[in-house]
Amino acid sequence: MCGIVGFTNNINDSNRVIGEMMDKIRHRGPDAEGKYVDENIALGHRRLSIIDVSSSGDQPIFNEDGSKVIVFNGEIYNYREIREKLVESGHVFRTNTDTEVLIHGYEEYGEKLLNMLRGMFAFVIWDKEKKELFGARDFFGIKPLYYAVMDKTFMFGSEIKSFLPHPNFKKELNTTALENYLTFQYSPTKETFFRNVYKLLPAHYFICRNGRLEIKSYWDVKFNPDGRPSLEEWVNRISDTFRNSVEAHKIADVEVGSFLSSGVDSSYAAAVAEVDKTFTVGFGSDEKYNEIGWAKNFSKAIGKENTSKVITPEEYWGSLEKIQYHMDEPLADPSAVALYFVCSIASEKVKVVLSGEGADEIFGGYNVYSDPDGTFYDRLPMGFRKAVGNIAGRLPAHRGVNFFVRKGKTVEERFIGNAYMFTPEQRKELLKIRTDAPEPSRITKPYFDRVASHDDVTKMQYLDLHMWMAGDILLKADKMSMANSLELRVPFLDKEVMTLAERIPTKYRVTHENGTEETKYITKYAMRLAAKKDTPAQTAKTASKKKLGFPVPIRVWLKEEKYYNIVREAFESENSQKFFNVAPLVKLLDDHRDGKADNSRKIWTVFTFLVWYKVYFSDEIR
C-alpha cells in the first residue's frame, strides 16, 4: 500500500515540488520513496512495503526499454497468474512485484487489463513516446485517486493535500459541495470540497494527452438474479467464494491481522482468515457502545489474540482536527474516529488488516433494505399511499406521521442512502450563502435509472454501492488506515464475490424469518447462513447478532456541558457566520440538550464541517 502523486511538468524546480508533494503523504508510505522527473512529467511515490519488501519493489517502476513508467497504490491479488501469461508472451521482469505486472500488462493489453485484475488499485502510467498519462481506479473505489487541472497543469494524487505545495494549485472552497454534504453527510458527486478538484469515480480510467482529458467507465455491477439454485446451494457458493477471497486477500510478505466488532461481517472474516491477531475499540462500559468484551470472547473461541482499547471522550474530541486533516474532505460519520483508533492499535503489531466493509451493500445488510414491502400498508396501491402521505405531510412531524409520509413516496423519491441529514428546505434555512447545488434526487437519479426494472431492495443496494460505500465507508477506511501507515483489505469487496452476489435472488438477501410474513425481516440472509456454517459452533450466534460496528455515544456527549459548549462555540464562531445562520444552529443544539429531539447527527454534520474548514482554511495550511 502506498501513496502516489504527479503532475505534467510546466514549472521550474519541479524536482523540489514533487518532493514536497510526496512529503504531504508520507504517512501512506513511510518505508521508502521514489520519483521520476523529466521535461514533461513529475511522478512521486511513497511506499509501505507489503509484497517483495526488498528495495527491488521501490517505485516508480519501468518497463523493459524504459519507455513507460508507473506509480501504483494498492494490491493485485491475482498478479502471479497474470505474470505467467506475460512471461509466456515474452515480457521480462526485474522484480517480483504486482506493480511490474501492471506496467507490462498495460503494454500487452491496454485498458483491457483492468477487467483482468482482482484487487484494489489506483495507478498512473506515463508513456514517454506518446506523451500520454493513463490512470485507473479499482472497481469499488477502495483506493482513492484525485485530479485537478489548474493553469494548464494536470495533477493527480492519492490525497488532495498532496496538491497544496504545487505553485499552480489554487485552494478555494467549493460551496456547492458544502450544500450537498449537509444532506448526504459526505461529498456525493465527483466534485470535492476544493473547487476544481475531482475524484476519479470507481471503475473509471482516464487518458490525458496534449491537455485533453478523457474519462471512461470500464465496469459496473449488474444484478441478474438466478432463481434456480436452492438456498442451501447459495449458502455453499457464498462460503466457497468468500473463503477463496479471504485467501487471496491474505497474500503478503508481512503479518496480516483482522478488525473485530460484534457484527457478522468482521467476525466471519476473522474466523475464516485464521489470522493470529484481532483488534477492537469501544467507549466506556455500556454495551451499547462497547463491543470489547464480546470481541475478546469471540477471539478466545477461535483461538486468537485480541488487542483492544477503550477510547475516552477526551481522546475522541481531541483527535477531531487530526482526523479531518487526514480525511481531506469533511466526513460526518462519527465512527471514522473510532476507526482511526482501531487502526492505531493495529499498526503497532501488524502492517495489514482485514475488515468487513462492503458486506452490507453486496449482500443486502442494512436494516433500511427491509423497508420495501415490510408491512401490510406497503401492499396497498401507491396512489392511495401518496394521497395519505400528502395529507400527513401537512401535519406536525411525528414518528407515526412520518411513516405515512415515507410510505407515500417511491424509493426513488425517498432514498438517497444510509444518511439523510438535512432536507433541501432545511439546508436553505441554515445556509447564509446560496449555491447551485442540485436537489438530492437529481444526484441519485442516474443510478436509479440504470436499475429501473429491478425491485426496490436492489435499487437501494445499487445506489449504496455507488454512492454511500465509496463516499463514506471506503473513504474513511482508506484515510484512517493510511493515517496510521496500515494497509486495510476488504475481502467482501472482491470482484468474484460481487459476481456471485449479483445472481442471488432478493428473497435470499432480505427475507422474512422462517419465510412467513408475520415474522421479522432478516437482512443478509444467505450470507448470515454461510457465516453460521463457517463459524465455530460456540460463536454461531454472531450470525444473528445486531450489528453495532464501533458505535459512538455522540448523542450522549452533546448533552454534557463540556461538549455542548465546544460545539456551541464553533456554531457561534466567525467561521460559522461566513456560511450559516447561527440562530437555527443553536436551536438544534439546545433542543437536543433539552431532550426535545435527537439532533445529534445533524449537529455533528455541521460541526464536522467547521472543524475541517478551520484545519484547511483558517490555519492557512500549505
Residues annotated catalytic, as ranges: 2
Residue 72 and residue 135: Cα distance in Å, rounded?
10
Got the DSSP string for 479-539? HHHHHTT-EEE-TTS-HHHHHHHTTS-HHHHEEEGGG-TTSPEEESHHHHHHHHHHS-GGG
Q: Which cell numbers in the block locate residue 259?
A: 478488525
Neighbours of 498 (CB within 10 A): 21
Residues 6 or more apart in contact with residue 522 via CB below 8 angstroms: 510, 511, 512, 513, 528, 544
* Residue 478, all three cell numbers: 482508506
Any idea of the CA torsion for 302, 307, 311, 316, to the nearest 10 degrees? Answer: -100
**Parallel, antiparallel, or unpaired: how do β-strands 132-137 and 204-209 relate?**
antiparallel
Separation of alpha carbons 332 and 314, rounded Å: 18
Measured CA to CA in angstroms, residue 191 lies from 62, 181, 183, 258, 419 at distances of: 32, 11, 15, 33, 19
The three-state DSSP-derived secondary structure of 292-344 is HHHHHHHHHHCCCEEEEEECCHHHHHHCHHHHHHHHCCCCCCCHHHHHHHHHH
The C-alpha cell at 99 is 506493480
Q: Which helix (H) or strand (E) holds 399?
A: helix 399-407
The grid coordinates of residue 148 equal 485537478
Q: Using CA atoms, how far apart are residues 137 and 206, in angstroms rounded to an integer?
A: 9
Q: Do 491 and 269 touch, CB atoms closer than 8 A?
A: yes
Residue type, 597: A
